[in-house]
Structure 1
Amino acid sequence: MNDNEWMRGGTVLVTGATGRVGSRLSERLLDLGAHVRTVVLPGDPGRSRLDARITVIEGSLGDREVAESAVHSVQAVVHLAALMDWDRSAAPALFRSNVEASFHLLDAASQLPDFHRFVTVSSDEVYPALAIDGDIHEQLSLAPYSFYGLTKQLDEVLTDFYGRAYALPVTTVRFALTAAAEEITRHDGWSGRLFFASGLRALFAGLGRLDAVAVIDGAIADQDNTLLLPRDHSGASYRNHFCDVRDLIDALMLLLTEPAAVGDTFNVSGPESFEYEDVVPRLSEALGIPFVELELPGPAFSIKTDISRIRDRLGYAPSRDIETIISEVGERS
């Protein structure tokens, strides 16, 4: 059973509060009576959209003084902020923005006398999800395929260390791909990029699967306005697993408040995975744009995230699958 008494009138640092997850989490916390603090980079266009009740510190979490100021006197931290870039040249910036920032926050939080929870947000890229044929569970060996994924693995190592060495009440969550109806309709949307031909092409290019890129280029001219139903050489459909933002917020609240979350790591995703062959035709109809079915060289993605740990231990009960999201797309059309 959780105890939220500290939250009413307490202060929670939510890094990344200008993002789609952080903004919604901040609203939930504010509605429960918590004070919310965040850090924004100079010139961040999302600052103007922040709830007026949020206390804003301007600066970079890679700066130790900024991080210490942000953590001062808070009761909890939800560390969502991260630089996401898959270009090799971005490695130095990724290390500073992700790893150094996490170190500064954890170190500062470990010195607070009245502190309840530090939630480190990681990613399924630490496994890596795209290379696993079978259920993705927390006991799998970590082997990130991107420097971004490596920074999240290092964040997890730091979090575990501060929990063990300094008794900091920590928990780590590995997000699967997060989806929302407003994003799935665009080729450049965070979840839409895994349905539109241009987004999948970019993903294959980043993974070095240039033979798959060549097939897509040869078959689809208008890639920004065409959905792709991918299959492998045997005709098997690709599989993926999304988490609706609203379910994700429910999970974060459990991780922030449930005593059983301390010292553990949890996958978070939606209730069920899906096959592209079941979803792409429906999404095509909802959006009113065409889809193309292609057999691509190389193995199919077959992502299925095991969420039994957070479901069984913390009572997480996601209710919105990909069909829910597509239905909402149709309602908006």
Structure 2
Amino acid sequence: MKILVTGGAGFIGSAVVREAISQGHSVLNVDKLTYASCLTNVRTVEQNLGYSFAQADICDGQAMAALISQFRPDAIMHLAAESHVDRSIDRPGAFVATNISGTYTLLEAARKYWQDAGRPDGFRFHHVSTDEVFGSLADTGAFTEDSPYAPNNPYSATKAAADHLARAWHETYGLPVVLSNCSNNYGPYQFPEKLVPVVILNALAGLSIPVYGSGKHMRDWLYVEDHAQALLTVATNGATGRSYNIGGGKDLSNLELVQTICRIMDQLRPAGHPYSDLISFVPDRPGHDRRYAIDATRIQAELGWQPKVTLEEGLEKTVGWYLANAHWWRPLQERSGVGRRLGLTA
């Protein structure tokens, strides 16, 4: 199968690229190479004959049309996005441009290719999204594919808009679209501004470990390699017009997550004091959703996918990876905004 992956030099996108190559697919990785992208993420597959890379912006319609026409994919997996909530609070325009306009541009390029090719039944456009589009849950319940949309920050609002565009292109034009909404990801190659690597790297440096507000915000956590396998399952076997929620099945508060990472750090890199001593509560960000939880019954029942990595196992793997790969994350810490508190300008 030939798969065009947008955002394939990012965290989740690169995991999809690596997994797709391991499954024997041919992959064209299309990435703009923004601040959060890193081609080192796909270094293990870059010599594979089935792998190719193109630096391009999904907002560039001519470039997208040319790449799709040349590669002739069986599936497009759309992961390119601005994704950091704190940055979206400071610079919402960039999120509108990439997540909404970029998705529209890519959908149109895909539609023309699909129509010109005779509308093949086997083609798929897989739009990859987030559970944050559903907003914030009460103390009980979980998001299903039928949950109403209620985004509370610029990032989730732009992803919600992109979801609606993808659905509309299926309903209006017949484009064979599948969608997925995932819970919080963690694992190797995650950019250093996100919560899990911040905890690991701040602990390692002896810096304070920031916890927003009370730390009681609840999240469902999903190991990125499990997610990559789920995404390929959806792209290859999902029913068109259908959406699939993908979750790790383990909910805990941000404070509990931070404390768990600190305990793992105590075991793998003892510092003479508990790393939890470094935890510091900081002002919450505006519009911070209190709770997310995923009901992944549909993908389990219809497509047979289940997460393989428990949270404890995944966090141990992740901490170990960051401890062993300073050559990867240290240069990224020099990029714009990393290590500085963002998202307080509202």
TM bucket normalised to smaller:
0.7 to 0.9
The one-letter amino acid paired with 1:102 is T
Superposed, which structure 2 residues align to 1:91-102 within 5 Å?
91-102=92-103
- SS of 2:125's equivalent? strand
Structure 1 position 12 matched with structure 2 position 3: yes
TM-score, scaled to structure 1: 0.75
TM-score, scaled to structure 2: 0.72
Distance 2:318 2:161 in 1: 37
The alpha-carbon deviation at position 90 of structure 1 amounts to 2.3
Selected match of 1:67 from 57, 64, 67: 64
Superposed, which structure 2 residues align to 1:214-253 within 5 Å?
224-226=207-209, 228=211, 238-253=217-232
Partner of 2:110: 109
Structure 1 position 128 matched with structure 2 position 120: no
Superposed, which structure 2 residues align to 1:135-174 within 5 Å?
135-174=142-181
* Structure 1 stretch displaced more, 237-246 or 314-323: 237-246
Structure 1 position 304 matched with structure 2 position 293: yes
Structure 1 position 188 matched with structure 2 position 193: yes
CA RMSD, aligned part only?
3.5
Partner of 2:261: 283
Matched-pair contact (CA < 8 Å) for 1:61–1:97: yes
Partner of 1:314: 303
Distance 1:267 1:281 in 2: 27
Matched-pair contact (CA < 8 Å) for 1:271–1:319: no
Distance 1:139 1:295 in 2: 35
Alignment identity in percent? 21
Question: Residues 63-104 of structure 1: CA distance to partner in whole angstroms, max 9, x if unpaired?
Answer: 110111222222110000002354445233222212122112
User: Cα gap change, 1:144/1:49 in structure 2, threshold over 3 Å: closer, same or farther?
Assistant: closer
Distance 1:295 1:47 in 2: 34
Q: How many residues are matched?
A: 293
Matched-pair contact (CA < 8 Å) for 1:310–1:316: yes
The one-letter amino acid paired with 2:95 is L
User: Cα gap change, 1:165/1:101 in structure 2, threshold over 3 Å: closer, same or farther?
Assistant: same
Matched-pair contact (CA < 8 Å) for 2:33–2:55: yes
Distance 1:225 1:22 in 2: 30
Partner of 1:78: 77
Unmatched 5+ residue regions in structure 1?
Answer: 1-6, 199-221
The one-letter amino acid paired with 2:74 is Q
- SS of 2:293's equivalent? strand
The alpha-carbon deviation at position 154 of structure 1 amounts to 1.2
Matched-pair contact (CA < 8 Å) for 1:187–1:224: no
Unmatched 5+ residue regions in structure 2?
Answer: 267-273, 324-346
User: Cα gap change, 1:29/1:192 in structure 2, threshold over 3 Å: closer, same or farther?
Assistant: closer
Structure 1 position 22 matched with structure 2 position 13: yes
The one-letter amino acid paired with 1:71 is I
The one-letter amino acid paired with 1:305 is I
The one-letter amino acid paired with 1:178 is N
- SS of 2:73's equivalent? coil
User: Cα gap change, 1:277/1:74 in structure 2, threshold over 3 Å: closer, same or farther?
Assistant: closer
The one-letter amino acid paired with 1:311 is Q
